[in-house]
Amino acid sequence: MTVSTFTTFEADNQKIPLATAELVRARICLAGMRLWRGQLEDPRWERPALLLILAMNATLYCWNLSINGWANYFYSAGVQSGTMDPKALFFGSSDWGNSITVDKPPLSLWIMGLSVRLLGLNSVGILLPQALMGVVTTFLIYAILHRTVSSIARLLGAVIFFTTPIITLMSRYNNPDPLMLLLMVGALWFTVRAIETGRGRMLVATGALLGLAFMTKQLQGLLSLPALGISFLLFSGQRWPKRILTAACAGVVLVVSGGLWMTMVDLTPANHRPYVGGSVNNSVLDLTFGYNGIDRIATGGEITNAMQVPDQYRTSPSDAGLFRLLNANYNQESSWLLFAAMLAILLLGAAWKNLPNAPALRFLVVASCTWLLTAFLLLSFMGNQIHTYYTAALGPPLALVLGLTVEVVVCQRHRIGIRLSGTVIALAALVSTWLIISGTTLWPEWLSTAALLIGILALSALAVNAPSPKIHVGAAMLLAVALLSGPALTSMHNVTVGFTGSNPLSGGLSRNPAGISHLLQALRNNEMPWGHDIAFGRAPDIELVETVANAKGCTWAAATYASQTSARLQLASNRPVMPLGGFAGSDPSPSLDEFKRKVADGQICYYVEQQAFLEVQGPDSIAVAISDWVHSNFQSQLLGSTTVFRLVKDS
């Protein structure tokens, strides 16, 4: 009896942990099976295909990541400053002496700062979260399409997004764009869920995410707002009073989440915070609607004679127009399928009556088309303050519109009008690919013709009645290869070369000598020293770095023009460097009197002269005034090839 009881007791004690372990293993196996299998209603091959796409995406974005070094030195210095001082972290200061902020709100800097705390202040630590955000955005594109279209269409939409060259480039760069796109696409996902469920809190989440997108890159983060707002009001299943109330609540949350930091900064006394970089009156409000708002949209931005730009880069006062994004300056970024997508909007409109009467699908069609049209028209007609990487804003709606279009063409292929329209759209994409590849020196001349002919051959096979469905499947795959060859090859090129400075540009040199690729190459080669210093920054001499690194007792080890140059010196010396005049050296920070006062208080150890920058400034500029005062009161010395003035007395 005793032995039996003891044995049972021992057996019971052994059964409990054994059952628990088996249960854990079973749950892990079940989770693995679900991960591999996906949803039961999906084809068995779809989830493995999605995982393969995401793995390819992660490899493309993360491989050789350190080749970009500090990428945009301006933002890397901001990340560095945030790790050195909580005040610099909150305000997004360029330097941890807190003289001036970067020209965007600091949300993306905060995320990169968290990564740096884990991985250290290095290239991978700064750029890895950007790459991961790009992969998550690809998955969200798939997840949004998954709710409304079939397998091929949603997988193709994900592939179109992650192979868009400017998306690849910016997902490996430290500009705020990857976070902005992630938040905008996340906002669309929540709005789709609000349509499906009728729950107002889903739209409130949309408002919160769009507010954070605004806090990432200000007005550009709200490009999708008109599309989401109008489409929700049109297709929500809520009664109109509740629908309007829900939209109003989402709007309030957007204003709060997007405006809270902005309000806190502007309410902080100016003498207790850094100057707001990019503003003319030390205000985030001015930064939002001026430098990052109206100035970008409406300003012509003509290049002044003082800047000594060669004539070949001044061929036109403006390239604004419907085909701006197809010209040599922008076409390698996201225009491969762009004009096909614009035609696809017409197809979706023509097929509207035959779409399934599903509110989520109809919402997504209207929202995606409106978002794409908004971004396209703004980028096509805005002033000359446009940068090539702004075209990243086209990536999500472009992928969504084309995914929806593939669904319509496949489901309504029995209609001759739909088949013909689909053929025209594909031809437009093939012609765009042919033009873009032909216009660059990066690829052999035969490649553009090969892509065009292969695509036409595939379209011809799709147009006839084939003896076997496998022929149509093979032709469709061949067409996809032809259409995606240009952006995919350019994206792969983007991960094999290093990009730094203010304006990363996809692909190779344009055959048009007036293209921006030639201007950037000239700047990179220091053919225009002032422009090189603003766009890429002046590489500091070793002697200068050592001297600044050993500077003691000052709030700022050095001060110099402009932000890219000061950022490079700060990153190299690991000492705070004041970027006089902010990003372009034109901000009124500090004034001459403020600079004199800081020098008198012993707060600045060295003034580092940048003669090339000063040569293109007007005689009444603060930069010239500060330089003249320093020359009149301090003795210069040469460190390497750099003229430096010591502003503090030896102790």
pLDDT-derived band at 316 (thresholds 50, 70, 90) equals low
pLDDT-derived band at 146 (thresholds 50, 70, 90) equals very high
Contacts (Cβ under 8 Å, ≥6 apart) of 641: 541
Q: What pTM was computed for the model?
A: 0.92
Q: Tell me the average pLDDT of the chain.
A: 91
The pLDDT score that the predictor gives to residue 38 is 73
pLDDT-derived band at 463 (thresholds 50, 70, 90) equals confident
Evaluate if residue 6 carries a pLDDT over 70: no
Share of the chain above pLDDT 90, in %: 78
What's the mean pLDDT in 69-92? 97
Between helix 2-37 and helix 46-62 the angle, nearest 10°, is: 80
Evaluate if residue 458 carries a pLDDT over 60: yes
> Is residue 645 within 8 Å of residue 609, measured between CB atoms?
yes
The pLDDT score that the predictor gives to residue 480 is 95
User: Among 95-109, 451-465, 537-551, whose mean pLDDT is lowest?
Assistant: 451-465
The pLDDT score that the predictor gives to residue 88 is 97
The pLDDT score that the predictor gives to residue 5 is 42
pLDDT-derived band at 27 (thresholds 50, 70, 90) equals confident
The pLDDT score that the predictor gives to residue 28 is 75
The pLDDT score that the predictor gives to residue 300 is 55
The pLDDT score that the predictor gives to residue 11 is 44
The pLDDT score that the predictor gives to residue 310 is 58
Evaluate if residue 58 carries a pLDDT over 50: yes
Interatomic CA distance for residues 614 and 604, integer angstroms: 20
Share of the chain above pLDDT 70, in %: 93
The model's pLDDT over 598-632, given as tens digits with 9 standing for 90+, comes to 999 999 999 999 988 988 888 788 999 999 999 99
Evaluate if residue 444 carries a pLDDT over 80: yes
* Both tokens assigned to 78: 């901001």
The pLDDT score that the predictor gives to residue 305 is 40
Closest by CA position to 629, among listed 638, 95, 604? 604
Contacts (Cβ under 8 Å, ≥6 apart) of 12: none
The model's pLDDT over 486-517, given as tens digits with 9 standing for 90+, comes to 999 999 999 999 999 999 999 999 998 888 99
Interatomic CA distance for residues 470 and 475, integer angstroms: 8
Peptide bond into 590 cis (omega under 30): yes
The model's pLDDT over 157-198, given as tens digits with 9 standing for 90+, comes to 999 999 999 999 999 999 999 999 999 999 999 999 999 999
The pLDDT score that the predictor gives to residue 309 is 53
Evaluate if residue 10 carries a pLDDT over 80: no
Q: Is 321 left (phi over 0), alpha (psi -120 to 50) or beta?
A: left
Q: Give me the residue label for tokens 């001349």.
A: 445
Evaluate if residue 311 carries a pLDDT over 80: no
The model's pLDDT over 359-381, given as tens digits with 9 standing for 90+, comes to 999 999 999 999 999 999 999 99
The pLDDT score that the predictor gives to residue 17 is 55
Number of helices (H), then strands (E), belonging to the chain: the values are 28, 5
Q: Give me the residue label for tokens 């350190």.
A: 66
The model's pLDDT over 174-185, given as tens digits with 9 standing for 90+, comes to 999 999 999 999
> Is residue 111 within 8 Å of residue 120, measured between CB atoms?
no
For the chain, the distance separating the N- and C-terminal CA atoms, rounded to the nearest angstrom, is: 92
Neighbours of 586 (CB within 10 A): 17
DSSP code at position 96: T
Degrees, nearest 5: CA angle 160-229-131: 35
Q: What strand order describes the sheet that includes 636-639?
A: 577-579, 556-560, 604-608, 642-646, 636-639
* Both tokens assigned to 489: 């090859």
The model's pLDDT over 539-549, given as tens digits with 9 standing for 90+, comes to 999 999 999 99
Longest dimension (CA), the chain: 106
The SS3 call for residue 607 is strand
